[in-house]
Structure 1
């Protein structure tokens, strides 16, 4: 993991291999961003060179130039911040986060970079630190690296102006939180990027067990025998066609002073072939990412423990591999779910909702104050919201709004979606079972949410995050987002946990 430090050293005197500065769009070309903790002379001289090089100052634009005389770092990286904010306003934290991430990616192979971006308060210090660490991420576990391979940026220093009244303690706390957050986002990215032959349900459960032991979490793993004995028909029905049997993992952080409990439920399909309803060619290659929800849940619980949050967080990882075989669940089969409801399976590629249903019922038995489930659940939601935005649904408008607001504040794109009663009719018309696992094709992402709602205890605030779009980036890297696993929803869920610890769940449940 990239090392992180905070420093009040002058930008001209900091000992680093590269200095990152922020620039904005000016009327006559690029201009230094206000509030950058660097001498005015350095910024003015750099701005003149940048104009000659054709820099504009657009968001995340990267321009390299030799450092002006008198600067210890030999290289300057100018990163665009877009238009300057209105008078008296600060840069949006997400703008700084993205800019820092872009600079960190451009500095791969560099040992040490100092970031002199506008950090007027602890929130913006955190944004720069998070962006730099997230942008420096690289997944190399399965690559043979040689001497010429460029590794990720190894060390980041965030420079701060020694402003009067600056809250140094708050800034140090922000740096510490950023390190934990980035490490746990990287855990999710690593799990998502790991190929399915190296991450079976049992292997995922083993990783969760190791993480629990390291960070003082309680953990319980139900293997296939325990699942059968307990009546977890959804998880077993999805995993029965695979030679790698399913697991249900409960991992929990508890705090002696906590008076609120949140349950997080994550979809953990370590590989999704579609089962007997086999996916067409071209849709299988990235299906190692179908466990991104469970990975995000695990990372959030670990992060809560590492930060010592005064809230109880219980994570449920519903782990299975969805494969076709002679023993696989067939379209037309009926599964008896945990808790007793029966489901007619019309499409075995609508498997995520089956494993999630079992876990939702089990999570609800512990009477948490709120439940959030996270899943790469439907392609329909990608059609609705694109590849960078996740959907937020729920049975409680206030709680759903809290999730949406937490995503906004954490820098993750989300959108509130409705659970329309008329769409529920399509899943309740089975002639042989309580429910069908498929309803109308139109509005399919909402239908999936309505199916999950059937397994949430009455009166418990619940939200459903469909992260099918942003969980895996098949395109090029951008900002602090790499190609491959992104760590979607971890930042949102951690902020939700912090808000619960601060008493913002009062009135829920």
Structure 2
């Protein structure tokens, strides 16, 4: 049974409940102790005084859990602590084989229940996978999370579920192996998401991509027996409040061998099914916006192909003519993501966009710069837009580290025989990649997000789990909604 997030005005008796208590609380409020005997109340108080993060009381027919809100310097960090408590709670519920849990926030603010539910919901994600034994295919025991109280509305709970379903969609796409998700299958999945959520999808095939002369996408695809796709997703409700659309561009390299500049393995090529995480995130954001009927006109562009060394594969030294007309000298075929993004960014100009944001697992340099704890950002959209993005990043804890696009970085991508080259230098590789993309963004404000580190995790990390994380879905939903 799929997991469902719901709202109830009142808390029933005799149900498994988690109570969120004010920071520093040792004595239980009456609302959290109505059916607890004196000894149990004392036990909970003693555990809270000992700084226990999660206190459990087993009533045999149900459980009560107690979580004290953390004392943090900002509301954003308090919310993140509650998300992490949600992960800890999920482990306890899983051990108890709990199917339904209620959440009641007894703090003065009363807003923490959504954050705890968010962490719990995300922790409950499980990729369906391809195992054939019945035990492996069994659903997670938890199938219903109910947020209670008058300080949270049913509409807010429903909206949160729509966003988290977008995250789950992105995770599913990233976790699918290449033999189950080539460029055509990826495009079909985007179209299916549109059918379900309510946005329009157009898929450009090889013939139309050739007609558009998308030299970057066509070059990266040359070594593959599978054709490329270019998917256009458009969500345009009648009550959209923006006259010009916001455009999201997602890198869709469904598997990256590095091409003839072959990646080493293990620890590099092995997990390259995740190299389309930017495209997956764009799909998840469009899905969440449409599901929740947010009044924004948003377009998603996802160029997709695999990058392989076979057949007529492009080679170092080739010169490509891009969709924009610029020429690019290829110095490394493993710097392919920027080539397909460049065509999509130039294509985005036709929409006269209010803002373009591209999302990509683009460089190891970004991963080394900030690790899995953050996302690299840069662009031309101006300080106000980047501040809004950072604020959304703090609210969702998908935090942004801004890097400069100083003019001197243009020297890193100079070519002797073409307009630019596709590699840059060893230093500041994430910035020279951004500087490359900037050349294709003339005519509109633009932000580049490099999600190379947090998009796919090889070890579990709290509610982000292991494998595809769906990173930037919650961030971009929050950001766009706030504009």
Q: TM-score, normalised by structure 1?
A: 0.86
**Cα 1:51/1:215, change in 2 over 3 Å:** closer
Residues 359, 449 of structure 2: 8 Å contact kept: yes
Matches within 5 A, 1:103-502: 103-108=89-94, 109-118=97-106, 123-147=111-135, 151-160=140-149, 166=150, 171-260=153-242, 261-282=245-266, 283-395=268-380, 396-427=382-413, 429-458=414-443, 460-478=444-462, 480-500=463-483
| CA-to-aligned-CA distance 1:428-456 (integer Å, 9 cap, x gap) | x2111111001111110111111111110
8 Å contact 1:304–1:497 — kept in the other structure? Answer: no
- Alpha carbons 2:281, 2:470 under 8 Å: kept: yes
Whether 1:19 aligns to 2:32 is no
Once the two structures are superposed, the pairs formed by residues 45-56 of structure 1 within 5 Å of their partners are 46=40, 48-49=42-43, 56=50
- Asked whether the 8 Å contact 1:32–1:44 carries over to 2, the reply is no
Cα distance in 1 between the residues matched to 2:272 and 2:374: 19
CA contact (8 A) 2:28 2:45 kept: no
Q: Contact (CA 8 Å) 2:199, 2:233: kept in 1 or not?
A: yes
Distance (whole Å) between structure 2 residues aligned to residue 336 and residue 463 of structure 1: 24
Cα shift at 1:193: 0.7
Looking at structure 1, the residues matched to 392 and 178 of structure 2 have their Cα atoms a distance apart, in angstroms, of 31
* Structure 1 residues 113-165: Cα deviation after superposition (integer angstroms, max 9, x where no partner): 222344655753432332222121111232235358672521111232xxxxx
Task: Flag the 1:48–1:417 CA change in 2: closer, same or farther, 3 A.
Answer: farther
In 2, distance between residues paired with 1:364 and 1:488?
26
Structure 1 residues 454 and 10, CA gap change in structure 2 (3 angstroms) = same
Query: Does the Cα contact within 8 Å between 2:105 and 2:112 map onto a contact in 1?
Result: no
| SS across alignment from 1:441 | coil
Structure 1 residues without counterparts, runs of 5 or longer: 161-165, 501-509
Partner secondary structure for residue 308 of structure 1: coil
Partner SS for 1:285? helix
Taking the aligned partners of 1:138 and 1:152, their CA distance within structure 2 comes to 11
Contact 1:334 1:345 in 2 (8 A): yes
Would you say the 8 A contact 1:25–1:56 is kept in 2? no
8 Å CA contact 2:22, 2:108 repeated in 1? no
Contact 1:353 1:452 in 2 (8 A): yes
The 1-side partners of 2:372 and 2:37 are apart by: 37
Displacement after TM superposition at 1:270 (Å): 0.7
Distance 1:389 1:349 in 2: 23
Secondary structure of 1:440's partner? coil
**Partner Cα distance (1:372, 1:299) in 2:** 14
Deviation at 1:271, TM superposition (A): 0.8
* CA shift in 2, pair 1:313/1:43, >3 Å: farther
Q: What secondary structure does 1:358 align onto?
A: helix
Q: What is the Cα deviation at residue 105 of structure 1?
A: 4.0
Using the TM superposition, name which of 42-51 and 241-250 deviates more. 42-51
CA contact (8 A) 2:224 2:309 kept: yes
Q: Which residue of 2 aligns with 1:31?
A: 26
Change (3 A) 1:349 1:186: same
Q: Where does structure 1 differ by over 6 angstroms across 4 or more consecutive aligned residues? A: 51-55
State the alpha-carbon separation in 1 of the partners of residues 46 and 281 from structure 2.
45
Question: How far off is 1:291 after superposition?
Answer: 0.7
For the Cα contact (< 8 Å) 1:253–1:305, is it kept in 2? yes
Q: TM-score, normalised by structure 2?
A: 0.90
Structure 1 contact 341–434 (Cα < 8 Å) conserved? yes
SS at match of 1:320: strand
Distance 1:102 1:364, change over 3 A: farther
Partners of 2:71 and 2:78 within 8 A in 1 = no
CA RMSD of aligned residues (A): 2.8
